[in-house]
Structure 1
Amino acid sequence: ISKKLTQDLSEQGVEFITKHRKKMKPANHTSFQKWFLSKRAIVEAVIGQLKEICQIEHSRHRKTDHFFINLLAGLAAYVLKPRKPACSLKALPTTFLIPN
């Protein structure tokens, strides 16, 4: 990730967190950030289900109304699904909730 992108995101109040990869400087993540990085598979599973099952995808809508209707219909279909991936916050120790 470029430094410019990281700076632009931080100016907007968004913190960009990634795992350490080759040719990267090691970042000192807090335990809270490490916990979120470990839940990436669940986030990707939800996004995958929204794309595949609920048919939310990037398409060329001619009107913004059609885009929002497609998005809301897909989110409603996801909410009505009986089985969804879950992330239990009960397993998260309270020390993680306190930022360092």
Structure 2
Amino acid sequence: KILTTPENALLKQYIALLETEGVNLEFTASGIKEVARIAYEVNSQVENIGARRLHTILTTLLEDILFNVPDEVPEKKIKINAKIVKEKLDNIVKDRDLSKFIL
């Protein structure tokens, strides 16, 4: 819920940020669940900082898009589903050197 419900939810912030560059970012329900699952796992393996972990996880998930917009992102509509989240973030759950994800 914290990813979607509050007026200033992180997902809404990233969607609005990319809209300013003409990119329509959409998260599927499965993608949101997977982000939450990975944040929970990283919190379990490292220091549990709760929902604050979500910012780092989302930044890592979207870093290529954020860095390359608008020049190198040909798609103007990007849908983030569980498969994309797993491909991009599963390595951080498996990697025991999680120092870059500690806030």
Which TM-score tier does this pair reach, normalised by the shorter chain?
A: under 0.3
**Which is richer in helix?**
2
More relative contact order in 1 or in 2 (CA 8 Å, sep 6+)?
Answer: 2
Normalization by structure 2: what TM-score?
Answer: 0.27
TM-score, normalised to structure 1's length?
0.28
**Structure with the higher strand share, 1 or 2:** 2
